[in-house]
Structure 1
Amino acid sequence: MNPLLPTSIVGSLPKPSWLAQPEKLWSPWKLHGQELIEAKKDALGLSAHEQRLSGIDIISDGEQTRQHFVTTFIEHLSGVDFEKRETVRIRDRYDASVPTVVGAVSRERSVFVEDAKFLRQQTAQPIKWALPGPMTMIDTLYDSHYKSREKLAWEFAKILNEEAKELVAAGVDIIQFDEPSFNVFFDEMKDWGVAALERAAEGLSSETAVHICYGYGIKANTDWKATLGSEWRQYEESFPLLQKSTIDIVSLECQNSHVPLELVEIIRGKKVMLGAIDVASNEIETPEEVAATLRGALEFVDADKLYPSTNCGMAPLPRQVARDKMVALAAGAEILRAELGQSRMAK
């Protein structure tokens, strides 16, 4: 059973330097063949161990076996040509060379299930597995086959659902879908994005989460944030729909952001994975700062539905920084647990 205020990371952790170049997205692997397979497993086990040592309650894979949170899943699908690449604008922020959809997309075998089984063996604590959401997947490709973002998203939703069901059967307790595109493409999100997300989560016996952030702490994202003004209210577009959706947990970015905390009220009734760790800075939050962020949220979310987490993935950060931030997250949650325990006894 989870403690009150169960902590988790949102997605990625930095990879060991012997596996891939540190502090870099899409970093190429340093090993090949069987050596790479074994090294990925070693990194996955190490990631779980570091989370446990840091005091994290819900253990994730840290995305140690994937180069990127979207493309690694896509490269295991048929219908996508990774040799035929095009440059596209990712979430209207930066250009990237991406693979091309050349035919009907399908999943011939599981992508992450063996990794999930290995993670399950590492801990008796709850485990969470992140998958890219349908809308974010289509934004990381060039489509020369369907020629319809919506059609491709529905195909991906079905594929994601197949994968998610196998992950749950392997022992995963929470399936998290990453949908940063929900903070950018509002019309599509309302027309079919949330519905496609629900299709990806359909029939799962695990808890389900959707993670919507403002992106990794890379320059393209921090430059974009600088244009958003003194209040970031993009969540006002998605939260009303998600509050009515079948998704159990909604994940959002809070620490050092300009997101007004009162927006959390819109998703009242849902569990809230609240980002209390800034992934765009190497500065380590103090436990008291984390506790203050979480404490402020309690006006808008009940304590038994508050899940402290990081703002986003920490892959671009130095490993020691990521470790220290996890320790701060756990310690900050413990401060607030103690306060809530005392307040209950006082009554």
Structure 2
Amino acid sequence: MKKLLPTSTAGSLPKPLWLAQPETLWSPWKLQDEELAQGKHDALRLSLQEQQHAGVDIVSDGEQTRQHFVTTFIEHLNGVDFEKRETVKIRDRYDASVPTVVGAVSRQKPIFVEDAKFLRQQTKQPIKWALPGPMTMIDTLYDAHYKSREKLAWEFAKILNQEAKELEAAGVDIIQFDEPAFNVFFDEVNEWGIATLERAIEGLKCETAVHICYGYGIKANTDWKKTLGSEWRQYEEIFPKLQQSNIDIISLECHNSHVPIELLELIRGKKVMVGAIDVATNDIETPEEVAETLRKALKFVDAENLYPCTNCGMAPLSHDVANAKLNALNAGAEIIRKELSL
């Protein structure tokens, strides 16, 4: 019997301090070579155990083996030069020095598949694996080869599809594509962004998700959010087409955000990972606060389609804060499960 309101995280969780600098994005590794490989697997096991202790139902690797949710995937591809860097504006928000696409992009070998197999060996629970989405990948690069955002996105979609099929074969139950860029480039999302995402999931039998958030709790993002006014209606631009797409699950940000909850009506029928934990603050939600977010969402999402989740990744938070937030997520979901059973 499938559990009602299964909880999960959006992706990253804090790394142990012996592996990487805590509370830092892009944190450099503290180990090297064989020790690093072993340390990553130890961290993955630890992250899994912490999720299990907190009662998370759909577990992940906590992105313990990667420095960054986009770049670590791109690092393993042909056609991208990490030495040759250009400054670009990422998500129309902040300047960053990024690698350059210098030739045709391709994947030589599986990137996360061995890690996924390792996670699968550790647990019988459903596992979710996150990959960067095509549009967010192109937004993190300077393209000197294709000179077309759309062309490059289609190439990345093909590569992501190869990786996703091997992750599915390794026993992954849900493959999630992270697309924060969907909250920024609405015309492109509707013209070709969702289409390239559907190319990335072509032929998959496992469940698929797209995670669309307002970003980690870093200054560039929190500053941007202050400019968005009292209502964040970005989702309104893309939900109608996403509702028609082949993606099974839509993962979004709800708690402490200014997203009008009624926008969820636009994706009725889809499964929804409702972000009920704010990752941009160290304040720990109470179980009742989590429950209240879920209650609001239940007006627009059928109970069997609702998956309580975090707003975004929690890599920049401390271990203690992240664990307390996961415990709150589970306790809040339990309140609603009891209410529904009555």
Mapped contact 1:231–1:258 kept (Cα < 8 A):
yes
Matches of 2:21 and 2:86 in 1, distance apart?
Answer: 24
Mapped contact 1:15–1:315 kept (Cα < 8 A):
yes
Superposition pairs for residues 318-337 of structure 1, below 5 Å? 318-337=318-337
Mapped contact 1:236–1:263 kept (Cα < 8 A):
yes
Matches of 2:304 and 2:44 in 1, distance apart?
Answer: 30
Matches of 1:100 and 1:161 in 2, distance apart?
Answer: 22
Matches of 2:90 and 2:55 in 1, distance apart?
Answer: 35
Matches of 1:11 and 1:243 in 2, distance apart?
Answer: 22
Q: Secondary structure at the match of 2:288?
A: helix
- Letter of the 1:125 counterpart: Q
Q: Secondary structure at the match of 2:338?
A: helix
For 2:30, the equivalent position in structure 1 comes to 30
1:200 is displaced (CA, Å) by: 0.3
Matches of 2:28 and 2:102 in 1, distance apart?
Answer: 24
1:283 is displaced (CA, Å) by: 0.2
Mapped contact 1:2–1:57 kept (Cα < 8 A):
no
1:22 is displaced (CA, Å) by: 0.8
Aligned residues: 342
**Are residue 70 (structure 1) and residue 67 (structure 2) matched?**
no
For 1:183, the equivalent position in structure 2 comes to 183
Q: Secondary structure at the match of 1:209?
A: strand
Matches of 1:94 and 1:119 in 2, distance apart?
Answer: 34
Q: Secondary structure at the match of 1:59?
A: coil
Give the CA RMSD over aligned residues.
0.6
Matches of 1:96 and 1:307 in 2, distance apart?
Answer: 34
Mapped contact 1:276–1:293 kept (Cα < 8 A):
yes
For 1:114, the equivalent position in structure 2 comes to 114
Superposition pairs for residues 200-219 of structure 1, below 5 Å? 200-219=200-219
Matches of 1:290 and 1:94 in 2, distance apart?
Answer: 31
1:70 is displaced (CA, Å) by: 0.1
Mapped contact 1:275–1:309 kept (Cα < 8 A):
yes
Cα deviation code 1:84-119 (max 9, x no counterpart) = 111111101111111111100000100000000011
For 2:44, the equivalent position in structure 1 comes to 44
Q: Secondary structure at the match of 2:27?
A: coil
Matches of 1:3 and 1:218 in 2, distance apart?
Answer: 34
Q: Secondary structure at the match of 2:12?
A: coil
Matches of 2:123 and 2:164 in 1, distance apart?
Answer: 20
1:332 is displaced (CA, Å) by: 0.4
- Letter of the 1:209 counterpart: A
Matches of 2:22 and 2:228 in 1, distance apart?
Answer: 29
**Are residue 301 (structure 1) and residue 301 (structure 2) matched?**
yes
1:72 is displaced (CA, Å) by: 0.1
**Are residue 150 (structure 1) and residue 150 (structure 2) matched?**
yes
Superposition pairs for residues 113-262 of structure 1, below 5 Å? 113-262=113-262
Cα deviation code 1:124-163 (max 9, x no counterpart) = 1000000000000000001111111000000000000000
Q: Secondary structure at the match of 2:16?
A: coil
- Letter of the 1:88 counterpart: V
- Letter of the 2:113 counterpart: V
- Letter of the 2:42 counterpart: D
- Letter of the 1:72 counterpart: T
- Letter of the 2:225 counterpart: K
- Letter of the 2:96 counterpart: A
Q: Secondary structure at the match of 1:60?
A: coil
For 2:277, the equivalent position in structure 1 comes to 277
**Are residue 7 (structure 1) and residue 7 (structure 2) matched?**
yes
Q: Secondary structure at the match of 1:29?
A: coil
For 1:345, the equivalent position in structure 2 comes to none
- Letter of the 1:162 counterpart: Q
- Letter of the 1:156 counterpart: F
1:272 is displaced (CA, Å) by: 0.5
Matches of 2:84 and 2:257 in 1, distance apart?
Answer: 38
- Letter of the 1:310 counterpart: T
What are structure 1's unaligned runs of at least 5 residues?
343-347
1:2 is displaced (CA, Å) by: 3.7
Q: Secondary structure at the match of 2:204?
A: coil
What are structure 2's unaligned runs of at least 5 residues?
none
Matches of 1:194 and 1:201 in 2, distance apart?
Answer: 11
Matches of 1:271 and 1:9 in 2, distance apart?
Answer: 15
Cα deviation code 1:243-271 (max 9, x no counterpart) = 00000000110010000100000000000
What is the identity percentage for the equivalent residue pairs of Structure 1 and Structure 2? 79
* Structure-1-length-normalised TM-score: 0.98
Moved over 6 A (4+): none
1:336 is displaced (CA, Å) by: 0.3
